[in-house]
Amino acid sequence: MRIVPFIIFSLITAALIIILNTSLVLPAPLGKLLSPQHGIWQNAEPVNEDFTANLSFPQLAGKVNVYLDERLVPHIFAEQENDAYFVQGYLHAKFRLWQMELQTLSAAGRASEVIGDVALNHDKEFRRLGMVYAAENSLKEVEKDPLIKAECDAYTAGVNAYIEGLTESQLPVEYKLIGYKPEKWSNLKTALFLKYMSYDLASQEDDFEMTNAKNYFSKEDFAILSPAMKDSADPIIPKETVYPKPKVEIIIPPSADSLYFNNSAPITITKQKPDKDNGSNNWAVSGKKTQSGFPILANDPHLGLNLPSLWYEMQISTPDFNVYGVSFPGSPGVIIGFNDSCAFGFTNGGRDVRDYYEIKFKDDSRKEYSFNNQWRKTDFRFEKIKIKGQPDYMDTVAYTVFGPVMFDKNFTGNRTATNKNYAVRWKAHDPSNELKTFYLLDRAKNYSDYQAAIVNLHTPGQNCVFACKNGDIAIRTQGEFPAKWKGQGDFIMPGIDSSYMWQAMIPMDEIPFQHNPERNFVSSANQLPADSTYPYYLGSSYTPYRGITINRRLNTMNIITIKDMKILQTDNYNVFAEMATPIFLKNMKEQELSNEEKKYFEILRTWNFKNDLDSKGATVFYLTWEHFEDTVWNDDFAKAPKVIVRPSESTLLEAVLKDSSFKFLDNINTSQTETLADMVTSSFKKAVIELKEAESKDKLEWAKYKDTKVQHLTKLEPFSRFHLPIGGGTHCINATKSNHGPSWRMIVSLTPKTEAYGVYPGGQSGNPGSKYYDNFIDTWVAGNYYPIWIMKPSEVNDKRIKWKMSFSK
């Protein structure tokens, strides 16, 4: 009888061996994960962790001292410039290595190597978009520039110096959870990271959706639903600015206006897209409007709210420059910040620099395609995608004169019909050296230096704000943008000849800009760069409302202080609601409302248009507008192709403000003619159903309903922060949504002794087991800031210094 217990014990032992030493149950062997010496327990950082270190590396030319303050912000003092970048790379890797690797693996289309075939579609799409191809082209440009190449080489060496010294127990917890080890960094990875930012900020397009809409609706209706210019536009460069005659004369094909009107089958391609609200606010006010008599600059980029944060705060000081601000883990230099002379910041330009062309191949081999009445040979790029636990996947991508063929029979974009091929023309594919922008800005001393720096920024296009201690303020809607005719690139274009190709880039001296304007401030908030008198087509995907609020406030403000700028940067006023709510109040059929519905209507009536955290009116308005949009558009789009773009909020709002009998208010599925009052009342009644449910769950207050969170990049709940009590919203200066918002708030007063404040929703450490992982979030939520300490070499004994790291050869 002893054989039975023996067999059971043996089976249990075998099972434990398998569970603890293989990846059959978890991505990493459970035994390793739970190992006291090397497992996840080692990532629990002591509260009093000592970051003091004395390190030697043969790559260094001199000494570098790093002083870590009470917020774990490093102040780097280097005798040699490139040593500073070496140490920056080392620190980025020390505190953010897993984040750096995840972002570059994703950018390169290599996520399947780590997490398996669940990521294969992502990897195929990014390979076919040409992310690596784009990074390689940029790297060639970087390596032509001795200064930027040396900067990148030093940074890469610093990252690798940290990686080479890592023990298994020191691996970030995410590596342990997925059973992966870091690979060496390279300059290509830095280029890939920057292309990932280009994807996030310069990849927003609706070409397939717009083509379907143009094909589905009549020419007249399409013009109503997709106006090129909004009435509410308050452009970055003020209206009535006089622009010179354009240097580029664009030849418009005869079929440009009529193409795709009612003459093609719907396109059913779907693909990944960055958040349409990736944007920002920035402004600079002249000393003529400030209490101190010196300029003040403010910037808050709006991006995904993630842990670890996108940003890493630091100071870099060398004999040639002294700069403070936020950096990208994965890239050298300071991206948004200030130095001893000036400050600089960015908002997203929003221009469409990614277009699609229909390609006609000679046959299924794709070896030749039709172009300008001849068969041109196709170039091929062979993409080997490694898949964890499975054989490699080989994808052969055809490259044309336009760029890679992103969608064909081998990568359908979720289509059922695969008889059409689409190549992508993306400005990010072109050689460029964006790192030079930040390299020069970090050293800029005046407006001329600022100009020389930002002309190197090609993609993504950005609105670059500037202020200097000598009193100068400026903004430039910078980028290398194709000169387009009206509507070019909004739709799929024919790729059989050169007539629809980009014909030229807008000359740099014709890029809209302002320098010391009469109104004594400059600003941008992702609105239209210029009005309709600007000679080149700018597209229509812009958000006007934050810009309206900012300009309205700055126009009336004088004797401005830092405190005023903090209040403005965290302002929750919703100007879109200010414009839209009167429509609801004027047209509501109150006599048809129940007592319960009247209760919510009274909340809306008495609302002050502020999306404050405890506001109930903000929730009532939000849901009412959501249902109003659906009630107006659902009938007209019910039979439309599934891949389609609906009109923007501003299109509907402006249409109804201009015409209370707007044709799309009528429900085409009923015999009667619906009025604006019918639609408003019906929408409100639908909203009340959701409002009652929200109130029953104690979620009627705006912050509870919006439910802002800052999630770990893997969405792991234990590493994330939920239910943050913060107001704001899409159309507020404080543009905080559920998982998106101000990723870094910075205010700089350029007085003789710089006074600056900043905060971001995260922490300096990427280790979820560290108290420095998310310790800034509560300050950010409260709308508060940290005073920024620009450390001087003489302050090495300052009490704010908690640890010192010494680097030498």
Q: How far apart are CA 735 and CA 737, in angstroms?
A: 6
Mean pLDDT of 242-264: 86
Whether residue 782 has pLDDT greater than 90: yes
**524-543 in b/e burial notation, b at 16+ Cβ within 10 A?**
bbbbbbbbeebbbbbbbbbb
Burial class (CB in 10 A: 0-12, 13-18, 19+), 478: buried
pLDDT value at position 84?
A: 98
User: Looking at residue 120, what DSSP letter applies?
Assistant: H
Q: How far apart are CA 503 and CA 369, in angstroms?
A: 21
Question: Given strand 708-712, what is the order of strands in its sheet?
Answer: 306-307, 708-712, 721-724
CB-CB neighbours of 789 under 10 Å: 19
Confidence of residue 48 (pLDDT cuts 50, 70, 90): confident
**Strand pairing of 312-317 and 74-78?**
parallel
Q: Most distant CA pair in the chain: distance in Å?
A: 100
The token pair at 211 is 């083509």
Q: How far apart are CA 602 and CA 585, in angstroms?
A: 10
Mean pLDDT of 547-573: 98
Question: Where is 803: in which H helix or E strand?
Answer: strand 801-808
**Share above pLDDT 90 across residues of the chain, in percent, rounded to a whole number:** 87
**Share above pLDDT 70 across residues of the chain, in percent, rounded to a whole number:** 94
Q: Which of 519-528, 536-545, 561-570, 589-598 has the lowest mean pLDDT?
A: 536-545
Q: Which residue has the tokens 């903090």?
A: 566
Confidence of residue 471 (pLDDT cuts 50, 70, 90): very high
pLDDT value at position 9?
A: 54
| Strands, E assignment, 29-110 | 53-56, 64-69, 74-78
577 residue type, one letter: A
Q: How far apart are CA 34 and CA 28, in angstroms?
A: 10
The token pair at 518 is 């009469």
Mean pLDDT of 81-106: 97
Q: How far apart are CA 467 and CA 265, in angstroms?
A: 52
Q: What is the pTM of this model?
A: 0.94
Q: Which residue has the tokens 């052969």?
A: 396
Mean pLDDT of 740-756: 98
Mean pLDDT of 790-802: 97
Q: How far apart are CA 89 and CA 329, in angstroms?
A: 8
Confidence of residue 33 (pLDDT cuts 50, 70, 90): very low
Q: Which of 33-42, 453-462, 702-711, 750-759 has the lowest mean pLDDT?
A: 33-42
Burial class (CB in 10 A: 0-12, 13-18, 19+), 640: middle
Q: How far apart are CA 264 and CA 214, in angstroms?
A: 10
β-strand partners of 67? 75, 804
Confidence of residue 8 (pLDDT cuts 50, 70, 90): low
User: What number of CA atoms fall less than 13 Å from residue 272's CA on the CB side?
Assistant: 18
pLDDT value at position 278?
A: 84
Please write the tens of the pLDDT for every residue from 286-316.
Answer: 999 999 999 999 999 999 999 999 999 999 9
The token pair at 205 is 């397009």
User: Looking at residue 265, what DSSP letter applies?
Assistant: P
Whether residue 29 has pLDDT greater than 90: no
Measure Cα distances from 607 to 600, 683, 730 in Å.
11, 18, 18
The helix/strand/coil state of 637 is helix
The helix/strand/coil state of 418 is coil
Q: What is the CA radius of gyration of the chain?
A: 28
pLDDT value at position 60?
A: 98
CB-CB neighbours of 604 under 10 Å: 21
Please write the tens of the pLDDT for every residue from 659-693.
Answer: 999 999 999 999 999 999 999 999 999 999 999 99
Q: Which of 318, 200, 307 is nearest to 774 (CA)?
A: 307
Q: How far apart are CA 531 and CA 512, in angstroms?
A: 10
Please write the tens of the pLDDT for every residue from 726-736.
Answer: 999 999 999 99
pLDDT value at position 31?
A: 45
Mean pLDDT of 517-537: 95
Mean pLDDT of 506-524: 97
Extents of the domains making up the chain = 575-706
**Strand pairing of 64-69 and 755-759?**
unpaired
Whether residue 30 has pLDDT greater than 50: no
The helix/strand/coil state of 569 is helix
Mean pLDDT of 107-129: 96
State the architecture of 575-706 in CATH terms: Orthogonal Bundle (1.10)
Is the separation of the CB atoms in 702 and 619 below 8 Å? Answer: yes
**What mean pLDDT is reported for the chain?**
93
Q: How far apart are CA 423 and CA 400, in angstroms?
A: 7
pLDDT value at position 240?
A: 86
Measure Cα distances from 167 to 172, 400, 452 in Å.
10, 46, 44
pLDDT value at position 231?
A: 62
Whether residue 11 has pLDDT greater than 80: no
Mean pLDDT of 403-417: 91
The token pair at 613 is 């955290």
Residue 636 gets the label, from left (phi > 0), alpha (psi -120 to 50) or beta, of: alpha
Phi, psi (degrees; rounded to nearest 5) at 352:
-85, 110
Confidence of residue 415 (pLDDT cuts 50, 70, 90): confident
Phi, psi (degrees; rounded to nearest 5) at 168:
-60, -40
Is the separation of the CB atoms in 70 and 800 below 8 Å? Answer: yes
pLDDT value at position 311?
A: 98
Is the separation of the CB atoms in 777 and 53 below 8 Å? Answer: no
The helix/strand/coil state of 248 is coil
Q: Which of 327, 350, 207 is nearest to 277 (CA)?
A: 350
Is the separation of the CB atoms in 797 and 345 below 8 Å? Answer: no
pLDDT value at position 265?
A: 79
pLDDT value at position 271?
A: 87
pLDDT value at position 2?
A: 52
Mean pLDDT of 13-33: 50
Where does 202-298 have alpha helices with state H? 207-216, 219-225
The helix/strand/coil state of 746 is strand
Where does 524-671 have alpha helices with state H? 545-556, 562-569, 575-587, 595-605, 617-637, 649-658
Residue 338 gets the label, from left (phi > 0), alpha (psi -120 to 50) or beta, of: beta
